[in-house]
Amino acid sequence: MLVAFNKPFNAPCQFTSGAGRRPLADFVTVKGVYPAGRLDYDSEGLLLLTDEGSLRKRIADSRHRTKKTYLAQVERIPDDKALALLRRSVKLRDGMTAVVGHPTLRLVRVGIGDWSLDGRRPGEWEVCR
């Protein structure tokens, strides 16, 4: 089974949560599925959940190079040099676009491989197969 979930801003990727945060179980009520990868608490967008261990590994493990597509709102308008650096794929520690002088203000994952948000509103999910 595969579930596509549009994770809202400041929602966790875990079914159990502490520090007064709502757990993922408050959003996705399907039993027996687990996140294939994660999104930071302050990021939003497509999160896939599955009960298939091999599919979770293929999506989450960077060695499989599953394409992930993001929309990023950044500070100021990047110039051609900054965009060229990002297109070449910079090595990230923390900060993503901050490494080229334009810190990320908002990050939304809109696609993972062949799956996309498909118009799902934040907090909405759908069983895909």
What distances in angstroms separate CA 17 from CA 23, 35, 37, 123, one per listed residue? Answer: 5, 14, 16, 16
| Residues known to be catalytic | 40
Instruction: Quickly count: other Cβ atoms within 10 Å of residue 108's Cβ.
Output: 19
Instruction: Quickly count: other Cβ atoms within 10 Å of residue 42's Cβ.
Output: 11
- Which residues pair with residue 35 across a beta bridge? 49
The residue among 2, 1, 31 whose CA lies nearest residue 112 is: 2
Distance of alpha carbon 81 from alpha carbon 84, whole angstroms: 5
Kindly state the DSSP code that residue 71 receives in the 8-state scheme.
E
